């Protein structure tokens, strides 16, 4: 779906407390989570504006978001 919210707290509600704890105690996690959230918001805005960028650029943004999400999810599972 276009404009769908893929924030960490939305996609992983079972990890709400862990996300909050890691954002406070793990600077690498916090930086990557912040980057992920900004990227997710950017993608949503672009989708809602009929993606005023090339398909290749949109694919790259989504790929980057996916890689960050995988890293963050692995870190959440370690806790």
Range of the domain at 61: 8-78
Q: Which one is predicted more confidently, 2 or 67?
A: 67
Residue 12: inside a domain: yes
For the entire predicted model, the pTM comes to: 0.88
Angle at 70 between CA 61 and CA 35, to 5 degrees: 50
Q: What is the tally of structural domains in the chain?
A: 1
Residue 2: inside a domain: no
Task: Summarize pLDDT for 13-33 with one digit per residue, the tens.
Answer: 999 999 999 999 999 999 999
Residue 3: inside a domain: no
- Residues 6+ away with beta carbon under 8 Å from 8: 15, 19, 33, 36, 37, 69, 72
């Amino acid at each position: 779906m276009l404009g769908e919210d893929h924030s960490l707290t939305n996609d992983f509600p079972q990890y709400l407390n862990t996300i909050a704890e890691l954002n406070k105690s793990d600077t690498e996690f916090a930086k990557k989570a912040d980057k992920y959230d900004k990227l997710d918001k950017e993608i949503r805005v672009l989708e809602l504006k009929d993606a005023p960028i090339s398909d290749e650029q949109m694919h790259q943004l989504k790929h980057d978001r996916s890689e960050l999400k995988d890293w963050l999810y692995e870190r959440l599972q370690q806790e």
